[in-house]
Amino acid sequence: MKGDSLADLPSADFYAYESLLNQAERDKLAELREFLAAEIAPHAGDWWNKAEFPPHILPKLAALELSTPAQRGYSNLFAGLVIAEMTRVDTSIATFFLVHHDLFVQSLHDFGSDDQKQRLLADASSLRITGAFALTEPNHGSDVAGGMETRARRISSATGKPDEGGDAWVLNGVKRWIGNGTFCDYMLVWACDEEDGSVRGFIVDATLPGVSRTRIENKIALRTVQNADIVFRNVRVAEADRFASINSFEDTKELLRGSRVMVAWQAVGQQLAAFDVARQYAVERRQFGRPLAHFQLIQQQLVTMLGNAVASMGMMAGLARLQDEGAAGMPQVALAKSYLSARMRETVALGRSILGGNGIVTDYRMAKIFSDAEAIYTYEGSFEINTLIVGRAVTGISAIA
């Protein structure tokens, strides 16, 4: 069995979760797939190998009009499947999309003033400008809520001196692992107010004096994503660029919960990609005079991969329903992120095994899928942290210091 005969086999959506979408959503998902097949799939491996981001695709990506799907009236299931499908083709492009739209643009929707939305929202939604989300720090990842070291001091722009009613702020600190950080036009920077210790959010023009950006090199995952270390040295930001509705880290939790959902959907996409590649290889690759798929152990591995992917899609479809009902709390989201991360790790490892030696070179896609999975396992709450969030919910006892 070779080539187009694979099209006659069942898809990795073995339980037909996509059938839960309405017709307009199914049509839009088909349009997205056509775009990904034509514009992303043929080049994704080369971008990854060279660790280069392709800015020329942004106008075409924007033309799909998929920025913050829920804001456009689409279902939460559809929004998740958009991220899963992007990830299925290229995890890096999906991560760019997630950072820009689900964090930067969504923040403008959720927290932006009328003036801020008027100035930035249309251009950000259409990718005429790009954004980043600067929260994580060199010494603070999982504990950044209580350990944030980046500082904000309110001042008078006329005198430069501290002023509780001043019209400007001065930022000092360092952020790390900031996706899109090397090239973004704006970034949302989270800092601790020196006056009262509260967390503040700022829209920062990336070209302001005092902002310096350095690309993080030598990554083994998400190589197309341009992660940066960003240093702020006495960066002046107007009061008009502060999110007035953000006064504590608690105010950001709904936003972060939403982005964690999308990273869980990335774990689905990784598994779909691994299954696609492994099945095609098993059907077409011949050993001992027969296709690999003829052998029982290979079939067992493929079925395990499929079972993991289908179970993951089922959990996420259930979570999308809870989102629709306004009942998806952080414990439910954390369970999805932790459980799917573990299933994803098993799935991509099995896929890499099926490809043998060819599974460690990017020519066959599986090596890239395998490597990118490690980033998903860690970001938006590591497997361990998300597990402990759920543990706290089901026991009433916190194991997090």
Same-domain status, 114 and 203:
no
Residue among 204, 196, 218, 209 nearest 175 (CA): 204
Long-range interactions of 213-222: CB distance < 8 A, separation 24+: 213/181, 213/182, 214/182, 215/181, 215/182, 216/176, 216/177, 217/51, 219/51, 220/371, 220/374, 221/371, 221/372, 221/373, 221/374, 221/375, 222/91, 222/92, 222/95, 222/372, 222/375
Instruction: Say how many CA atoms lie within 13 Å of 284 toward its Cβ.
Output: 13
Domain boundary among 125, 157, 185: 125
**Domain boundary residue, one of 77, 96, 125:** 125
Domain boundary, last residue among 216, 233, 248: 248
383 and 262 housed in the same domain: yes
Residue 138 forms part of a structural domain: yes
The verdict on 105 and 138 lying in the same domain is no
Q: Where are the alpha helices (DSSP H) in 36-113?
A: 44-50, 58-63, 76-89, 91-97, 106-111
Measured CA to CA in angstroms, residue 378 lies from 153, 221, 345, 400 at distances of: 32, 11, 11, 17
Looking at the fold, whether 368 and 256 belong to one and the same domain comes out as yes
**Could you tell me if residue 146 is inside a domain?**
yes
Q: Which range marks the domain in which residue 19 is found?
A: 3-125
> Within this chain, do residues 270 and 380 fall inside the same structural domain, yes or no?
yes
Residue carrying structure tokens 């008027």: 118
What ranges in 130-205 are assigned the alpha helix state H?
A: 144-147
- Do both 10 and 99 map to the same domain? yes
Q: Please, where are the H alpha helices in 15-75? A: 23-35, 44-50, 58-63
Whether 103 and 199 map to the same domain: the answer is no
Q: What is the DSSP-derived secondary structure letter of residue 71?
A: G
pTM, two decimal places: 0.94
Claim to verify: residue 342 and residue 379 sit in the same structural domain: yes
The tens place of each residue's pLDDT in the chain, 401 residues long, gives: 444 478 789 999 999 999 999 999 999 999 999 999 999 999 999 999 999 999 999 999 999 999 999 899 999 999 999 999 999 999 999 999 999 999 999 999 999 999 999 999 999 999 999 999 999 999 988 888 778 999 999 999 999 898 888 999 999 999 999 999 999 999 999 999 999 999 999 999 999 999 999 999 999 999 999 999 999 999 999 999 999 888 888 877 878 899 999 999 999 999 999 999 999 999 999 999 999 999 999 999 999 999 999 999 999 999 999 999 999 999 999 999 999 999 999 999 999 999 999 999 999 999 999 999 999 999 988 999 999 999 999 999 999 86
- Compute the 3-state secondary structure of the chain and give helix, strand, coil in percent, each to the nearest 5: 55, 15, 30
Same domain flag for 138 and 190: yes
DSSP symbol at 198: -
The CATH number given to whatever domain includes residue 117 is: 1.10.540.10
- Mark whether 268 and 300 lie in a shared domain: yes
Q: How many domains does the chain have?
A: 3
Domain shared by 299 and 238, yes or no: no
154 and 98 housed in the same domain: no
CATH number, domain with residue 237? 2.40.110.10
